Structure 1
């Protein structure tokens, strides 16, 4: 397996605040989609069904290759 699929749920609480949940890591996009179809029936998720995001990641690859600034 060289690729995994990360499932998140993002719920916008206010203009500047989001609640982001890492749901799971799957071996195929199809399996992540099956999880979405089950979760959309549950309390909280059913009120925000469009918040699901599936991202594809390749194993052994950096996805953040730059530094970052600390904002105080």
Structure 2
């Protein structure tokens, strides 16, 4: 099974979540190498601990639950 690693930088600013998708990499180590470089760049260095690496399997559904519709909140 092919696995990829999604690298994002996400933080909260003025009660809004800001998320930047940086890239998708073939190994966790390659994603980590990019983090090490980006931590010094403007727009990233202000939030150096807010990088996230998520592992995904190609051709596999990751989100199986779906959304709750508004009817789920009605009495």
TM-score of the aligned structures, taking structure 2 as reference length: 0.83
- How many matched pairs? 70
Superposition RMSD on alpha carbons, in Å?
A: 1.6
| Unaligned residue ranges in structure 1 (runs of 5+) | none
TM-score of the aligned structures, taking structure 1 as reference length: 0.86
| Unaligned residue ranges in structure 2 (runs of 5+) | 71-75
Q: What is the 5 A alignment of 1:1-72? A: 2-15=2-15, 17-69=16-68
Cα distance, 1:7 vs structure 2: 0.2
Partners of 2:43 and 2:53 in 1: CA distance: 18
Stretch moving more, 60-69 or 34-43: 60-69
